[in-house]
Amino acid sequence: MTSPFSKIAALFPGQGSHALGMGLDIAAQYGAAAEVFAQGQQVLPALGEVIEHGPLQELTLTANQQPALVLASVAAYRAWYARTGLIPFAAAGHSLGEYSALVASGALSLADALRLTHKRGKLMQQAVAVGEGAMVAIMGDAGAVQEVCSGIEGVQPANYNTPSQTVISGQKAAVEQAVTELKARGLKAVPLKVSAPFHCPLMQPAAEGLAPDLQAVPLEPMQFPVIANVTAQPVSDSAQVPDLLTQQITASVQWVKSVEHLREMGTELFVEFGPGTVLAGLVKKIAPEVRVVNVGTAQQVAEFGNWEV
């Protein structure tokens, strides 16, 4: 396929984009995606059953949801590549999605990504006792969020999602104090139903638990750079990946800067691979002028290339 866009950036979603049956229609119609699910069956034998039949509560468990999203996202990407032959010039993934992006780039094997994210999910769930932490989405100026969090120990910005949406994370009491101060400044707060406070220092035990696995995993040369969540800078040397993925567990996700950097690099089309449209929505709020399409169903794979849409 010939594309009118010479610079396509691939995006991969993180937790919260999951859905029962995700990716199965693509696997039914595209051999490349079927191979992804077959490999997933070999690595994590119960995962395919949970994706197909649930229950949703089981799929939502962090240790299942993380590898399941990698599986569905990579399946969509490989089906798209098999159909179009197009290669992105860069990629980025939101939190967990960074693993999917690294698989797409060739740095990380699918099997290793599934093993790592399964363990990552378990470790993140175990790091903090239920009820001790919290995450809240704050609607309003990100600068105000940063300022308030810097004055309260035990809470920090976890995800800079858009210029007007920042998720904060940390110890429950500290998060509640930050919310009170931010509301007093006129900002809105929406508590998130999450199983643990991600992307904050409370996740340090998970980072320490996963670090040896990340250091030991075999890595290959990257076909294209991946924007790191921690730095919002492109990574072209796979040797940097283990340290960045370790830091990512406790550090803020710099999504706004990541998208802005991709724009500065000349991105002409963003393509979100995998279930849901969360990242497409965030990108539109960060850079309203850009073109974004979703490839998360067999129909969307087939329709890609209708450049008028």
229 burial via Cβ count (<10 Å: 0-12, 13-18, 19+): buried
CA distance 279 to 282: 5
DSSP conformation letters of 266-290: T--EEEEESSSSHHHHHHHHH-TTS
Please tell me the predicted confidence (pLDDT) of residue 226.
Answer: 98
Instruction: Sketch the domain layout of the chain as residue ranges.
Output: 8-128+201-303, 133-191
Which CATH fold would you assign to the domain 133-191?
Alpha-Beta Plaits (3.30.70)
Give the model's pLDDT for residue 305: 81
For residue 242, CA distances in Å to 113, 131, 249 come to: 12, 30, 12
Beta-carbon contacts of 212 under 8 Å, excluding residues fewer than 6 positions away, are none
| CA gap 136, 1 in Å, rounded | 43
Main-chain dihedrals φ then ψ at residue 113, nearest 5 degrees: -65, -40
State how far the Cα of 193 lies from the Cα of 135, in Å rounded to an integer. Answer: 8
Rounded Cα gap, residues 138 and 183, in angstroms: 9
Return the DSSP state at 15.
Answer: T
How far CA 197 is from CA of 20, 224, 265, 275, 291, in Å, comes to 24, 32, 32, 23, 33
* Residue of 18, 73, 94, 95 with catalytic role: 95
User: For every one of its 309 residues, what pLDDT tens digit does the chain have, with 9 covering 90 and above?
Assistant: 888 888 999 999 999 999 999 999 999 999 999 999 999 999 999 999 999 999 999 999 999 999 999 999 999 999 999 999 999 999 999 999 999 999 999 999 999 999 999 999 999 999 998 889 999 999 999 999 999 999 999 999 999 999 999 999 999 999 999 999 999 999 999 999 888 899 999 999 999 999 999 999 999 999 999 999 999 999 999 999 999 999 999 999 999 999 999 999 999 999 999 999 999 999 999 999 999 999 999 999 999 988 654
Q: Are 138 and 106 in contact (CB under 8 A)?
A: no
- Active site annotation includes 73: no
Instruction: Count the neighbouring beta carbons within 10 Å of the beta carbon of residue 78.
Output: 22
Please say if 199 is a catalytic residue. Answer: yes
- Tokens 């309203």 sit on residue: 288
Spatial separation of the C-alpha atoms in residues 161 and 203, rounded to whole Å: 20
Active site residue: 199, 238, 258, 261, which one? Answer: 199
Residue 235, φ and ψ in degrees, nearest 5: -110, 120
In angstroms, the CA 141 to CA 187 distance is 8
8-128+201-303, which class in CATH?
alpha beta
Residues 189, 200: Cα–Cα separation, whole Å: 18
Using CA atoms in the order 17, 297, 109, 255, what is the torsion angle rounded to 10 degrees? -40
Give the model's pLDDT for residue 309.
Answer: 43
Give the span between the Cα atoms of 302 and 309, in whole angstroms. 13
Give me the residue label for tokens 């890609």. Answer: 304
Residue 282, amino acid: L
